[in-house]
């Protein structure tokens, strides 16, 4: 009888652990920050984040391994918390929103436009440790007008960090 009880307890714990392991990781993508500060290039931050969300949602892993927080929910929280991309405190303010949304990982980056070329950098941060995955980050470069087309290349480079 004790063996049967012990066996059922072990199986219950194992199945509960397996169910937790299969929960998809919740991920938030924040708009990229314009390091150059030139207003004419400001729209790239949101465009890139929106395109990256669509790209990652189209991958086979989406829904099984990770789940994206909708950009509308992110925008609503940014408005509610009065977070501005151009604010010097943007880098610290995003952590407050990530925790409010319950995300486990954060995709965030920067871009710099010089001589009409965009240099984009993407990183995947673990919310608990506030550290980014140093092996799986992306640096892509393209003409500013074609910068959004680098989403596929950037997304493929950071994809292993989402698992």
CATH number for the domain that contains residue 72: 3.40.50.10610
Over residues 23-62, the pLDDT tens digits come to 899 999 999 999 998 999 999 999 999 999 999 999 988 8
Going from the C-alpha of 116 to that of each of 85, 90, 140, 146, 157, the distances in angstroms are 21, 25, 14, 10, 24
Residue 58 lies in a domain: yes
The answer to whether residue 10 sits within a structural domain is no
Looking at the 3D structure of the chain, how many domains does it have? 1
Predicted confidence at residue 18, as pLDDT, reads 47
Look at residue 45 and tell me if it is in a domain: yes
For the stretch 51-91, pLDDT in tens is: 999 999 999 888 889 999 999 999 999 999 999 988 889 98
Q: What is the pLDDT of residue 3?
A: 59
Q: Is residue 131 part of a domain?
A: yes
Please report whether residue 4 resides in a domain: no
Q: Is the pLDDT of residue 21 over 80?
A: no
Task: Give the separation between CA 115 and CA 120, rounded to whole angstroms.
Answer: 14
In a domain, 8, yes or no: no
Please report whether residue 94 resides in a domain: yes
On whether the pTM is more than 0.75, the answer is: yes
Q: Residue 125 is part of which domain span?
A: 24-162
Mean per-residue pLDDT for 6-13?
Answer: 52
**Range 131-161 burial, b when 16+ CB lie within 10 A, else e:** ebeeebbbebeeebeebbebbeebbebbbeb
Please say if the pLDDT value at position 7 is more than 60: no
User: Does 72 fall in a domain?
Assistant: yes
pLDDT digits (tens, 9 = 90+) for 128-161: 999 999 999 999 999 999 999 999 999 999 999 9
| Rounded Cα–Cα distance for residues 83 and 98 (Å) | 12
């Amino acid at each position: 009888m004790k063996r049967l009880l012990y066996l059922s307890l072990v199986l219950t714990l194992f199945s509960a652990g397996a169910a937790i392991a299969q929960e998809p990781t919740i991920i938030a993508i924040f708009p990229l920050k314009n390091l150059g500060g030139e207003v004419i290039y400001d729209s790239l931050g949101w465009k890139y984040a929106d395109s990256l969300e669509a790209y990652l949602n189209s991958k086979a892993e989406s829904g099984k391994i990770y789940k994206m927080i909708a950009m509308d929910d992110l925008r609503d929280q940014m408005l509610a918390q009065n977070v501005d991309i151009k604010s010097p405190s943007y880098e610290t303010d995003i952590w407050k929103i990530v925790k409010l949304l319950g995300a486990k990982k954060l995709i965030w980056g920067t871009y710099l436009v010089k001589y009409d070329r965009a240099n984009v950098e993407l990183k995947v941060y673990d919310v608990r440790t506030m550290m980014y995955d140093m092996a799986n980050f992306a640096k892509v470069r393209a003409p500013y007008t074609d910068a959004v087309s680098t989403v596929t290349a950037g997304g493929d480079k950071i994809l292993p960090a989402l698992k």
